[in-house]
Structure 1
Amino acid sequence: MTFQPTRAIVTGSDSGIGKATAVALAAAGMDVGVTWHSDEEGARDTAREVEALGRRAVVRRLDTSDIPACGEVIDELAAKLGGLDVFVNNAGTGDNAPFLDLTLDQWRHTVSVDLEGAFVCLQRAARHMVGGDGGRLIAITSVHEHQPRVGSAAYDAAKHGLGGLMKTIALELGREGITVNSVAPGEIATPMTGQEDEDPRATDRPGVPLGRPGDAREIAAVVAFLASPAASYVTGASYAVDGGMLQMGPQAGSHIESDDWRQA
């Protein structure tokens, strides 16, 4: 296991899962490229936490709907870091609407950010790893990479597509020593889910086997493993980090006693 990562980029690392991941990678000995879309101060706060761990942080704004310009941001961050060992595609969005009400603009925005922007950024990151000592490409997808949700047609399609993209990249880049994996979170207590990074252990979720939402740091821990030398033989995989949610399919189905689930 000669791969020793010291340079990482985490997109959407101004809060939530991205922030926790940037800090976890810094704790593992990596300098980190931090990106933000609308919360610059959040990104600066992430950078301060990275620096408090004795690592360097480089902060840039990234709009993954600005294609292909978003790839140039990845190139710039890699140049500032002196190369790239680990790339975590975390930036994403979601427009929730029933399929019949979903507008084409909503569809295009979600697919553009979650799939097309991810493709551009992953490709740029990979080009900095090819010909070197290997690398790690990691995408934060969702449990909805694997199972759909009512009212999330665009999001589900984009995340299914991103999961498929990662598997294909894993096949193509294996000979370069680059591993490619996904992490598929369930409900995580972050601003994106309206929970403002609160302690999830105080929130009751009877339909989740572990009985609660997850903490962003629990996702970051899995990402940090996949970024490490210890994960050198893991590629093409998607890790569901969901408290067991995906295992509840038939069990949940037989216990639902109302039509409330049909509402977006």
Structure 2
Amino acid sequence: MTARRHEEDDGLTLPDRQPLAGRTCLVTGASRGIGRHIASELGRYGATVVVNYRSSEAAAHAVADRITEAEGEGLGYPIRADVTDLDEVAAMRDAVADALGPIDVLVANAGVTRDRRFAEMSAEEWHRTIDVCLHGTFNCTKAFYDDIERADHGRLVTISSVVGKQGNVGQANYAAAKSGLFGFTRSIALELAPSGSTANCVAPGFTDTEMVQTIPEDVRAEIRSNVPLGRFADPDEIAGLVRYLAGEESGYITGEVIDVNGGTDL
């Protein structure tokens, strides 16, 4: 990363104000929740951000507009694709390539929950969760793998969950999908390593997004009581880590599963 001199006489340097300027980042499921915060954070640091969505068109365009209209060099580019459909993902890749060229960073964030105790869980609830959370990550990584491998400091960041490590009642499908991302990311990290590109996985704890806000307050209070820091994560705390992993400074970190869970594993 280039740097500018802070003062002539002390030799201190500060990073450029927009360290992600010139980098194109694609965030799946970026119209809401953690994905929206990740997209906004990358744009705030100067990236061109492809804001992927499936059904929330207005929300995705609002995210992209905020990135473009903010001070700095960030540019938002909304695009629809269902990550479970490989043909749609391929079409998204082609559209992004035509408009912006190859990407440098893929943040595989898209996910859904279909919560139900296993004894009552339907095959549709199982497969839908696996399709979005795990197969969707495969589809997007497959489509953009060459971009990441060839990029100067290419990055894959997958978004998992503390549930993938600990399990959770009523979330056997979600836990299976999210734990699958651990092995997937580590394997891709090994395959990308010769090119100098990296792959890492972020595993947030319960985060204060729309999804968590729908949980009954008594249940949320019980969850908080099991977190040593005594609170849910702020989505910007997740986004800040992803922004770091997307940048040049993280170049010697690869194949890691990084927990952001308030000390839940302690």
Question: TM-score, length-normalised on structure 2?
Answer: 0.85
Does residue 45 of structure 1 match 2:62?
yes
Q: Deviation string for 1:232-255 (max 9, x for gaps)? A: 1000001111111222xxxxxxxx
What is aligned with 2:141? 122
- Conservation of the 8 A alpha-carbon contact between 2:89 and 2:143: no
- CA drift of 1:99 comes to 1.2
Residues 78, 211 of structure 1: alpha-carbon distance in 2 compared, 3 angstrom cutoff: farther
Q: Which has the higher contact order (CA 8 A, sep 6+)?
A: 1
Percent of matched pairs sharing the same residue: 37
Distance 2:222 2:24 in 1: 36
Does residue 139 of structure 1 match 2:154?
no
- CA drift of 1:78 comes to 3.9
Partner of residue 109 from structure 1, selected from 115, 125, 128: 128
Q: Deviation string for 1:135-180 (max 9, x for gaps)? A: 0000111112212111111111111111110010001111111100
What is aligned with 1:16? 33
RMSD value, Cα: 2.2
What is aligned with 1:153? 172
- CA drift of 1:125 comes to 1.6
- CA drift of 1:38 comes to 2.0
Distance 1:203 1:47 in 2: 36
Distance 1:70 1:131 in 2: 19
- CA drift of 1:228 comes to 1.0
Does residue 181 of structure 1 match 2:200?
yes
Distance 2:251 2:158 in 1: 16
Helix, strand or coil for the counterpart of 2:150? coil
Q: Deviation string for 1:94-136 (max 9, x for gaps)? A: 1111111111111111111111111010121221123342300
Helix, strand or coil for the counterpart of 2:225? coil
Distance 2:252 2:245 in 1: 10
Deviates more, 1:78-87 or 1:216-225: 78-87
Does residue 60 of structure 1 match 2:117?
no
Which one-letter code corresponds to 1:26 in the other structure? Answer: G
What is aligned with 1:225? 244
Helix, strand or coil for the counterpart of 2:202? strand
Question: TM-score, length-normalised on structure 1?
Answer: 0.85
Gaps of 5+ in 2: 3-18, 216-220
Does residue 70 of structure 1 match 2:72?
no
Which one-letter code corresponds to 2:148 in the other structure? Answer: M
Distance 1:166 1:68 in 2: 22
Distance 1:239 1:134 in 2: 19
Aligned length: 242
Which one-letter code corresponds to 2:262 in the other structure? Answer: G
- Conservation of the 8 A alpha-carbon contact between 1:70 and 1:121: yes
Which one-letter code corresponds to 1:90 in the other structure? Answer: N
Does residue 29 of structure 1 match 2:59?
no
Helix, strand or coil for the counterpart of 1:35? strand
Helix, strand or coil for the counterpart of 1:18? helix
Gaps of 5+ in 1: 197-201, 248-264
What is aligned with 1:252? none
Distance 1:177 1:81 in 2: 23
- CA drift of 1:68 comes to 4.0
Distance 1:230 1:203 in 2: 38
Deviates more, 1:69-78 or 1:214-223: 69-78
- Conservation of the 8 A alpha-carbon contact between 1:78 and 1:128: no
Distance 2:178 2:152 in 1: 29
